[in-house]
Amino acid sequence: MKTLERYIIRRSAYVFAMTIAALTGVVWATQALRQLDLVTSKGQTIVDFIAITMLAMPFLIAIVAPFALMIALVLVLNALSGDSELIVIDATGGSRFLVLKPILIFATGVMALAASMSLYFSPMGLAELREEITRVRADLVANVVKPGRFITVENGLTFHIRNRSGKGELDGLLLHDTRDPETAFTYQAERGRIEEVTGKTLLLMQNGTIQRRPKTKGDISIVRFQSYAFDLSNLIPEASEPVYKASERSTANLMAPESNDAYALQHPDKLAAELHERFSQPLYCVAFALTVFAFLGKARTTRQSRGLAVLGAISSCVALRTAGFAVTAITGENTSLLVLLYVVPITGMALATFFILRDAPASSSQILMRVTEAAENLTTRVLDRLNGHSSRGAS
């Protein structure tokens, strides 16, 4: 690899890393806020919250990577032009393809990154996120016990807590149980926590009292305790098996779902659309790279404004990806239109390549000459072999 190619790839990689980190962080923050109430209501720490929401990071990277590549190449090519480096390359007789080659190499690497995220890491992370959300939703404390509110878990059983600490402890606990036909029980404790012990879910209360009041006649009795265990096993709903959506299934599962998979039988169109979306999405990396180069890869003097070129490059890339999203939306249940998922990025590549070659007639002529010479040489070799075989046969 030449020094110029290493230089361009190194600058592009640095800007790309900074850009994708910033874009992914912003998108992750918006997505994490959607899960904030569900996770924090379970008493998770901030570390657990970040770990759960980070499971969606590969999915976000796969979406953001083409746009991060676009921004990186716009900045790098604009800097090369501003520092007159493109002009120097052009003045020394260098071809535009000296700059295009490292850009395509780098775009191919980004495409490989996006493909790995889209085909493997993204569905794996989303599947784990679905399992975690299903587990949280099946948790009694996460969904029923709310600080400062009286919650009736079932007929005759009411919970109230003053606060929930970050470690999952319940402060100021009040539990009123009137399910017994003869006696009402009221449990008060300074703090408590939920523990799984020998297959049972227990509410362990500390430093409190138990008030027993007959429902008909009799005096109230109060018992103080330092530690008391209340069985919640019959109140905990069974965690159902999570139903994985198309985006949460592995690529192998999309290709060959199980015969008894209810979701796959009901939504075969969604599985097919998701499969082709995963394969077509990384193609936008190369399409964006060619589009940006078509606008900004030409050497310009400092007197020539590059503002319109930058605007055209960004607008074209955004329009191309918007067309891709539109195709995904209109395919719907019509699987015959799925081929359009590949047509859009390939069309973008073809148009960008056409304009690149049009702006470099000398280079394109050289390419055509080389292709013609190779074809002539191949034809000559084939004819020589045929003549050799025929002469040996005649002898």
CA–CA gap between residue 151 and residue 159 (Å, rounded)? 5
Angle among Cα 317, 319, 325 to the nearest 5 degrees reads 105
State the DSSP string of 174-185: EEEE--SSSEEE
How many of the other CB atoms lie within 10 Å of CB of 273? 22
Cβ atoms of 211 and 222 closer than 8 Å? yes
pLDDT tens-digit readout, 72-112: 999 999 888 877 777 777 777 667 788 889 999 999 999 99
Average pLDDT value over all residues in the chain: 81
What is residue 288's predicted lDDT score, i.e. its pLDDT?
96
- Return phi, psi of residue 196, to 5°: -100, 115
Cβ burial 78-96 (10 Å sphere, 16+ → b, else e): bebbeeebbeebbeeeeeb
How many of the other CB atoms lie within 10 Å of CB of 349? 18
3-state secondary structure (DSSP) of residue 337: helix
Residues in the chain with pLDDT values less than 50: 239, 361-369, 371-372, 390, 393-395
Q: State the amino acid at position 124 in one-letter form.
A: M
What is residue 371's predicted lDDT score, i.e. its pLDDT?
47
CA–CA gap between residue 53 and residue 35 (Å, rounded)? 8
How many of the other CB atoms lie within 10 Å of CB of 132? 19
Q: Name the nearest CA neighbour of 61 among 9, 147, 145, 119.
A: 119
Kindly state the DSSP code that residue 302 receives in the 8-state scheme.
T
Tokens 């007959």 locate to 214
Cβ atoms of 249 and 273 closer than 8 Å? no
- Torsion angle, alpha carbons of 175, 180, 184, 186, to 10: -20
CA 216 → CA 183, 219, 220, 222, 344, distances in Å? Answer: 8, 10, 11, 17, 77
Cβ burial 312-344 (10 Å sphere, 16+ → b, else e): ebbebbeebbebbeebbeebeeeeeebebbeeb
Kindly state the DSSP code that residue 299 receives in the 8-state scheme.
-
Lookup: tokens for 126: 């989303």
CA–CA gap between residue 107 and residue 285 (Å, rounded)? 6
How far does Cα 334 stand from its chain's mean position?
A: 25
Kindly state the DSSP code that residue 336 receives in the 8-state scheme.
G
Tokens 């606060």 locate to 163
- Return phi, psi of residue 144, to 5°: -110, -50
What is residue 33's predicted lDDT score, i.e. its pLDDT?
73
- Torsion angle, alpha carbons of 229, 234, 237, 238, to 10: 100
Tokens 């889209």 locate to 118
Q: Is 156 left (phi over 0), alpha (psi -120 to 50) or beta?
A: left
